[in-house]
Chain A
Amino acid sequence: MFEAQEINAEHKDLIHDVAYDFYGERMATCSSDQYVKVWDQTSDGKWNLTSSWKAHSGSVWKVTWAHPEFGQVLATCSFDRTAAVWEELVGETPGPGERGTRHWVRRTNLVDSRTSVTDVKFGPRTQGLQLATCSADGIIRIYEAPDVMNLSQWTLQHEIQCKLSCSCLSWNPSLSKNHPLMLAVGSDDNNPSNGGKIFIYEYSDNIRRWMKTETISSVTEAVHDISFSPNLGRSFHLLAVATKDLRILSLSPIADNANVQSGLYKLDIQTAAQFDDHGCMVWRVCWNITGTILASSGDDGCVRMFKMNCINAWKPVAVLKGDGSHVANEGHRSSVCSAASLPTPPVAAVVSQTARYIKLGTISQSREVPWH
């Protein structure tokens, strides 16, 4: 059974991205209304809006947090062809009886792109403060802040031409030191005859350059989102792909086949799972922290969750769907289960004193596969 807490995001248009900080205690949202908002969870579980500012002069596509080792830092990207890095400042002179005044300062504005910047992501923590952007004209840029205490200085380290329009990118978060830095980039180019739509780039320490190690030819339709799974010590990487359906690809470095110059390995790419549950275009994928459950969003308006079971097969476990007609029905008994299953908690109670959670009603009456 699930319960939900509603946070009115106060955006004037649809939300394009929601990002949680490393601990899940802060939330950043961005929207077509060109605003970015930051919300803080109080100790009693409520969410308070602590900052809201007009960040760009176009739709803000993505918002993302840097690792807390670098302080309270956000990056955003927008239709206005820029990406920006923001840092929170806490004033030392608050008003009487107030907590310090908080506001977000634009530390840098990255204006190298000539078209809409479609995605922005901070690199792995161990690499210092790196930022990758990709844009609609097919250029991937990697920036770096050499002094982590001074975020106003960013240098454009690498510029990679991708030829096709880029829609999304993902850093491989692999913890192992044996893996080179790896980036996957997806293109929403509509023409299947342009070939594979996912590109894998790796950084070669030998030649200090990003190299394209792979174009994934099995995906030729437009790709709208990609995401590497956290690696639990596996020898291969898992990449979730949102395209006309949902795919999970496995990428295994082929041993004894390193490129002499770059020292990079070729990858063996297999489709580990493929789901057509959405029945239409999929455009958003997200892994949970341990990479055991994948959430996808599609044009069917649903968020679907898939979990890996103990024989390493992926199974759908739950679907979330919006339906306003249930609003009045808030108190309705949500957990009508099949006769075979045990009675589930009734709807009353468990409204905590502070943060209000509502129990979610269900549509299907089948037995539930446990989420955990």
Chain B
Amino acid sequence: MEVPCKTFVIPNELCRRAGLAGVWAPLNEVAVFPSHLVKAHNPDAPSPYGPSNASVYKVRQQVILFEPILRKLVNEANGTFLSVQELISNNVLDSKVELQKLSCQYRSIIRACLENLQDEAMRDKTNYKEELQNYITIFYSVECVWHLCEILFVENIPGGVVLPHLLEWIRFHFPKYERKAATLLAGDLVGIETHPDYWQTVIGSLMQGRIEVVRALLRLHSAGDSKPFKLVDQALKAMPTYNIYSGVSATEFNLKWKHWLVDTQSKIDAKLFISEKHLHLMMRLSVGEETAWNEVQSHCEAWYELLAAWLVFTEPTVKSFELGQFARRCIARMNVGLRMRHLDYVLLAAMEADIIQVIKEIQQMSENGWFVSHLTDLLYHAGRLVVLDNNPESHLVGSRLRECFLLDYGTLLMGHTSLWQVGLSYLDHCPTEGLKTIELLLPRLPLKSEARTQKIIREAHKRDLPQIIQSICKIQAMNSLKRGHLGNALTWGIKSQDGTFTSLLADKFLREYCKNGKLLNIDLLDSLGSSMLISDRLIFLGKYFEFHKEYRSRNYKESANLLISLLSSKLTPKYFWATLLDDTIPLLECNELIMSSLDTFTLLHCLQEKSDLPELQDKIELIRLGAARNLSRALMYEAQLVK
């Protein structure tokens, strides 16, 4: 199925003259702009196209699924999709039956969506109505195909006796006769046959195999007691129906069927129904008379409507695998081969059990992959794609096919502001490339608020993607920094668990202190706890804050201990030495003795080591003096203690 790709027109003259260049924009958009190749060696001159007004065009796929009315379908189906995955991963024994239930669930979601669309289309007076009608057309086809695929590929039909299911399908999708019958029965029953729809309804019901309805309508005919009517009623009552559970074997049934045909044919030949042409026609249809069928087939809206009817009276025991040939016959019979719509092709492919063709066709259904992703997934789990794997000719593999659709669908949803969480749950179920795709897409989600960021981080956490969490935290820290929210930046830095990065943030606090003598965000510094351990600089900052805190609460001894431990810690950044050494002065000059001789030696040692720091030059003498005085005080005091 190789088809040439479409060319789309960018309505811009400059783009035509100069030519287009394109770049991708996250996530699913292409930006195109007028440009042309300039070789590096050419002289740098204005292009022949300027001066001109160049525009950038952001091109994206139109996604109908993002319409509010269809988003219900996206979200609700997501629940069912996840149930399918759960079912499979739980290895339930009876998964086939459960799968069919879930298939029904999908269909009821489509049905709800269609009803919703119909309500809306009725109500809408704007030109959006046309759009809604269009969606109805699309999803009606989706429902129709899904139903048939469910019957043929998901449901476990005993003995492959497909006709009752096929009839159910036809009745569901061509409800007109049922509705008309209901209208007729609800109206005036006297002279019911004078209603213009009467015979159409009777014959239509017959063709849908609703024998009881036909008999009921015939009984209401004012001539219902006459001979031909009685005979028809008897014949229809006697008509055998094939049922796998009736205990009648196929051969036995065929004998009965043949017998009934001969019997009915003889009544037709005896012209017993000729007085009422409609009855005559009905009986001729019942025995499968070609000319009779030629008369009615024009009333069929579609070849598959004819197919079901025709099978009722000619091939009641038809098996699923035989459907294709009969379908082709009906198409030929109705001469619609050249007028096949897309839906016709899909249904035909399904009846011919050509699953790959079905999948290829439904890709075209302009609902942005919702259908093909979910159906392919279902068929894969129903074991229907195994045929692919066994075919050495094709490179297609069932699991790969399923994953491709899910990847595309998930990626599409990831590009939507609100539906990204839904998108993730599809990518989660792509065993080979899902996680890598998430790794590429998840960090691209705009962070916007912290609330949203937390949700994105949780998703990364659930999938064990620590490097993404780290990156997001660092981006948040940078954003907070840009906003002048230093405390929050440090919080995000700590959350990032990146020591180097956190150190750079801690530096900002220390440098600010050097500059303005103010420690910022003390509520934060006061409650760092063990989180400070991720970076040396943060430990220094935390401890330095503690020193300040102790000093302010006049616990000079504790503050001196902290200061001395910082001085000897090797954690002090170069730019902070002057400040740190300067901080010793008030402690040295205190009335009571704070620093021991040992402390003072440590200080003097540091002072010696850092003596050539330029920013220390105007203070160093002062500190030295203070230290010397303190040392003498301390030594005297300590000497007294020893005594």
Residues in chain A within 8 A of chain B (CB atoms): 1-20, 22-25, 27, 29, 31-33, 58-59, 61, 67-72, 79, 90, 92, 115-116, 118, 125-126, 136, 147-149, 165, 167, 175, 188, 224, 230-233, 281, 283-284, 286-290, 292-293, 295-303, 305, 309-312, 315-327, 329-330, 339-346, 348-350, 357-364, 366-372
Taking A288-B27, A288-B28, A368-B3 as given, write out 19 further A-B residue pairs in contact, using a Cβ cutoff of 8 Å, ordered by the A residue number: A2-B62, A3-B61, A8-B55, A18-B23, A69-B474, A281-B37, A301-B18, A309-B404, A310-B403, A320-B7, A339-B339, A341-B366, A348-B130, A349-B128, A349-B131, A360-B8, A360-B10, A360-B11, A363-B9
CB pair B23–A295 under 8 Å, yes or no, is yes
Take A1-B61, A363-B7 as given contacts and tell me if A302 and B20 are in contact as well, using a CB distance cutoff of 8 Å: yes
B396 to A148, Cβ gap below 8 A? Answer: no
6 contacts between A and B (CB under 8 A): A4-B32, A9-B54, A9-B56, A59-B38, A68-B475, A346-B131
A11 cross-chain contacts in B, Cβ below 8 A: 54
Q: Which residue of chain A is the closest to B402 with respect to CB atoms?
A: A310
CA separation between A310 and B127, bound complex, in Å? 39
* A319 to B138 CA separation, bound complex (whole angstroms): 25
Are A18 and B56 closer than 8 Å at their CB atoms? yes
Query: Residues of B contacting A361 with CB < 8 Å?
Result: 8-9, 11
Is B408 within 8 A of A22, CB to CB? no
Asked if B484 is an interface residue, CB under 8 A from chain A, the answer is yes
Distance to closest chain B CB from A343 (angstroms)? 6
Contacts of A312 in B (CB 8 A): 395
- Cross-chain contact A167 with B40 (CB below 8 angstroms): yes
- 4 tightest Cβ-Cβ pairs between the two chains A and B: A322-B15, A324-B13, A301-B19, A24-B26
B130 touches A297 (CB 8 A): no
Measured between beta carbons, the chain B residues less than 8 angstroms from A31 are 54
Contact between B437 and A290 (Cβ–Cβ < 8 Å)? yes
- Are the C-beta atoms of A372 and B408 separated by less than 8 Å? yes
**Are A345 and B62 in touch, CB under 8 angstroms?**
yes
Q: Whole-angstrom distance between the alpha carbons of A1 and B447 in the complex?
A: 29
Contact of A320 among B24, B59, B441, B447 (CB under 8 A): B59
Report whether A13 and B24 are in contact in the complex, using a CB–CB cutoff of 8 Å.
no
> In the complex, which residues of chain B have a beta carbon less than 8 angstroms from the beta carbon of A342?
137-138, 141, 341-343, 364-366
Give the dominant DSSP class at B's interface. mixed
Q: Flag if B21 contacts A284 (CB, 8 Å).
A: yes
Q: Determine how close the nearest CB of chain A comes to the CB of B576; give it in whole angstroms.
A: 16
Q: Find chain A residues with CB under 8 A from B61 CB.
A: 1-3, 371-372
Task: For A147, list chain B residues within 8 Å (CB).
Answer: 504
With A12-B51, A321-B10 given, is the CB distance from A310 to B342 under 8 Å? no
- Select which of B50, B440, B479 is within 8 A of A290 by beta carbon: B440
**A33 partner residues in chain B, CB cutoff 8 A:** 50
Determine if A287 and B24 form an interchain contact, defined as CB atoms under 8 angstroms apart: yes
CA A105 – CA B294 in complex, angstroms?
83
Determine whether the beta carbon of A16 is less than 8 Å from that of B35: yes
Is B46 an interface position by the 8 A CB rule? yes
Residue of A6, A302, A325, A372 contacting most chain B CB atoms (<10 Å): A372
Q: Tell me the minimal C-beta distance from A372 to chain B in angstroms.
A: 4
Q: Please give, as numbers and ranges, the residues of chain B lying within 8 Å of A297 by CB-CB distance.
A: 19-22, 35
Chain A nearest CB, measured from B577 CB (Å) = 19
Which residues of B524-552 are within 8 A (CB) of A?
A: none
A71 cross-chain contacts in B, Cβ below 8 A: 478, 481-482
Q: Is the CB of A372 within 8 A of B412?
A: yes
Q: Is the CB of B400 within 8 A of A14?
A: no
Distance (whole angstroms) from the CB of A211 to the closest CB of chain B: 25
State whether B32 touches A320 (Cβ < 8 A): yes
A118 to B37, CA, bound (A): 12
A84, B32: Cα distance in complex, Å:
25
Q: Which of A24, A90, A231, A317 contacts B25 (CB 8 A)?
A: A24
Contacts of A295 in B (CB 8 A): 22-24, 30
B510 to chain A, nearest CB (A): 13
User: What's the Cα separation between A361 and B443 when bound, in Å?
Assistant: 34
State the CA gap A339–B340 with chains docked (Å): 8
> How many Å lie between the Cα of A367 and that of B345 in the bound state?
14
A344 CB to closest chain B CB (Å) equals 5
Q: Is there contact, CB below 8 Å, between B134 and A232?
A: no
Contact assessment for A14 and B54 in the assembled complex, using a CB-CB cutoff below 8 Å: yes
Closest to B132 in A: A349
Complex CA gap A287/B53 in Å reads: 27
B474 contacts across to A, CB distance below 8 A: 69
B382-412 residues at the A interface, CB under 8 angstroms: 394-396, 400-401, 403-404, 407-409, 411-412
Contact with A along B422-464 (1 / 0, CB 8 A): 0000000000110111011101111100000000000000000
| B interface residues with partner A (beta carbon < 8 Å) | 3-41, 44, 46-47, 49-62, 64, 126-128, 130-131, 134, 137-138, 141, 339-343, 345, 363-366, 368-369, 394-396, 400-401, 403-404, 407-409, 411-412, 432-433, 435-437, 439-441, 443-447, 467, 471, 474-475, 478-479, 481-484, 501, 504, 507-508
Q: In the complex, what distance in Å separates the CA atom of A310 from the CA atom of B369?
A: 14
Asked if residues B484 and A364 are in contact (CB atoms below 8 Å), the reply is no
Q: Which residues of B contact A13 (CB under 8 A)?
A: 46-47, 49-52, 54
With A289-B24, A322-B14: A316-B5 Cβ-Cβ less than 8 Å: yes
Q: Is the CB–CB distance between B13 and A322 below 8 Å?
A: yes
The answer to whether B409 and A372 touch across the interface, beta carbons within 8 angstroms, is yes
Given A90-B482, A188-B39: A310 in contact with B396 (beta carbons within 8 A): yes
Question: Are A346 and B59 in contact, with the CB atoms below 8 A?
Answer: no
Do A366 and B23 form a contact, CB below 8 Å, given A14-B36, A305-B30, A329-B11? no
- Which chain A residues lie closer than 8 Å to B131 at the CB level? 345-346, 348-350
Residues in A whose Cβ lies below 8 Å from that of B128: 348-349
The answer to whether A319 and B5 touch (CB under 8 A), given A13-B50, A372-B409, is yes
Docked-complex contact B24 and A321, CB < 8 angstroms: no
A321 to B36, CA, bound (A): 13
Q: Flag if B19 contacts A310 (CB, 8 Å).
A: no
Q: Does A79 contact B44, Cβ atoms closer than 8 Å? A: yes
| A175 to B130 Cα, complex, angstroms | 47
A residues near B127, Cβ cutoff 8 Å: 348-349
Across-interface contacts of A17 in B (CB, < 8 A) = 23
Closest to B484 in A: A92
Shortest distance from the beta carbon of B385 to any chain A beta carbon, whole Å: 11
Q: CA separation between A90 and B478, bound complex, in Å?
A: 13
**Is A319 a contact of B7 with CB atoms below 8 Å?**
yes
Shortest distance from the beta carbon of B339 to any chain A beta carbon, whole Å: 8
- Smallest beta-carbon distance B501→chain A, Å: 8
* From A14, A149, A310, contact of B404 by CB (8 A): A310
- Are A321 and B20 closer than 8 Å at their CB atoms? yes
A31 vs B15: C-alpha distance in the bound complex, in angstroms? 15
A25 contacts B409, C-beta separation under 8 Å? no
- Bound CA span A167–B22, Å: 18
Interchain CB contact under 8 A, B471 and A321: no
Identify which of A69, A293, A303, A318 contacts B6 (C-beta below 8 A): A318
Complexed CA–CA distance, A92 and B486 (Å): 13
B338 and chain A: residue at smallest CB distance: A339
Chain A CB within 10 Å, residue with most, of B9, B41, B340, B471: B9
Our pick among A6, A311, A329, A340 for the contact of B396 (Cβ within 8 Å) is A311
Contacts of A324 in B (CB 8 A): 11-17
Question: Does B24 contact A286, Cβ atoms closer than 8 Å?
Answer: yes
Q: Which of chain A's residues have a CB closer than 8 A to the CB of B130?
A: 346, 348-349
Is the pair B22, A14 in contact by a Cβ cutoff of 8 Å? no
A32, B50: Cβ atoms closer than 8 Å = yes
Say how far A6's CB is from chain B's closest CB, in angstroms.
5
A368 and B53 form a contact (CB under 8 A): no
In the bound complex, do residue A4 and residue B5 qualify as a contact, i.e. CB atoms below 8 Å apart?
no
Assembly CA distance A35 to B63 (angstroms): 35
Bound together, the chains give a CA A309 to CA B394 distance in angstroms of 13
- Rounded to whole Å, the gap between the CB of A121 and the closest CB of chain B is 13
Assess the B5–A369 pair: CB atoms within 8 A: yes
| A5 with B20: CB separation less than 8 A | no
Known: A72-B482, A340-B340, A350-B62. Is A289-B53 also a contact (CB below 8 A)? no
**Is B53 within 8 A of A8, CB to CB?**
yes
- How far is A290 from B439 in the complex, measured between Cα atoms in Å? 10
